[in-house]
Amino acid sequence: MNSDSDLQIAGDILAVQHLLQPAKAHPSTVAEFAGLARSIAADRAQWAHLVDYDATTRWYHRLRTGPGYEVWLLSWVPGQGTGMHGHGDSSGVLTVLEGELTERTDKGARLLNAGAQRVFAPGYAHDVVNDSLEPAVSLHVYYPGLTEMPMHGTACSAPRARDAVTA
């Protein structure tokens, strides 16, 4: 018996339905947005058939929207990257679904394998590129939805095809 509390529950707490919070229809915390991304990542039927690869421009598809947030699916052929950019007032969760991506910031480079997640706040800047020899797919949740993607300097970016779109 737990002696740190005077509260004792008799019976099965899960049987007391009115004490349980109803399931949320939409995420509202960082952990919930990261969880949404992980649940989509785990359910390939939601996204695998939608993925396309375009060697001339980075491909992206808005997979889902909700109150104040958007979920984007992106593909990356080898060599495609964003260039150093910010996300305006948006926070984000980047999740690698397939392949691997490299994220460069002013603090260095980080290899992101399938399943890796990066959560960032407004004001965060990075350069994301597929430096591998295989295509990659990623999922991006933005809250609020991404309305601008200001490009920053070129100091951290090697020459490559660039597209100022979602990342």
Identify the burial level of 93 via C-beta atoms within 10 angstroms of its C-beta, where 0-12 means exposed, 13-18 middle and 19 or more buried.
Answer: buried
Q: Give the nearest distance from C-beta 85 to Fe ion in angstroms.
A: 6
Select 129 or 167, whichever has its Cβ closest to Fe ion: 167
Binding to Fe ion (CB under 5 A): which residues in 81-110? Answer: none
Q: Give the nearest distance from C-beta 49 to Fe ion in angstroms.
A: 25
Q: Count of residues binding Fe ion (CB under 5 A)?
A: 1
Q: Give the nearest distance from C-beta 87 to Fe ion in angstroms.
A: 6
Spatial distance between the Cα atoms of 51 and 80, rounded to a whole number of angstroms: 15
Mask for 138-167, x = binds Fe ion (CB under 5 A): -----------------------------x
Q: Give the nearest distance from C-beta 51 to Fe ion in angstroms.
A: 19
Select 16 or 122, whichever has its Cβ closest to Fe ion: 122
Residue with CB nearest Fe ion?
167
By C-alpha distance, which of 101, 105, 104 is closest to 113?
101
Q: Give the nearest distance from C-beta 147 to Fe ion in angstroms.
A: 13
Three-state SS for 55? coil
By C-alpha distance, which of 76, 119, 118, 65 is closest to 98?
76
Select 16 or 154, whichever has its Cβ closest to Fe ion: 154
* Cβ-contact 149, 164 below 8 angstroms: yes
Tokens matching residue 126: 């990075």
Spatial distance between the Cα atoms of 102 and 130, rounded to a whole number of angstroms: 6
Tokens matching residue 103: 């994220």
Select 82 or 98, whichever has its Cβ closest to Fe ion: 82
* Cβ-contact 75, 136 below 8 angstroms: yes
Select 36 or 167, whichever has its Cβ closest to Fe ion: 167
Where do contacts with Fe ion occur on this chain (CB under 5 A)? 167
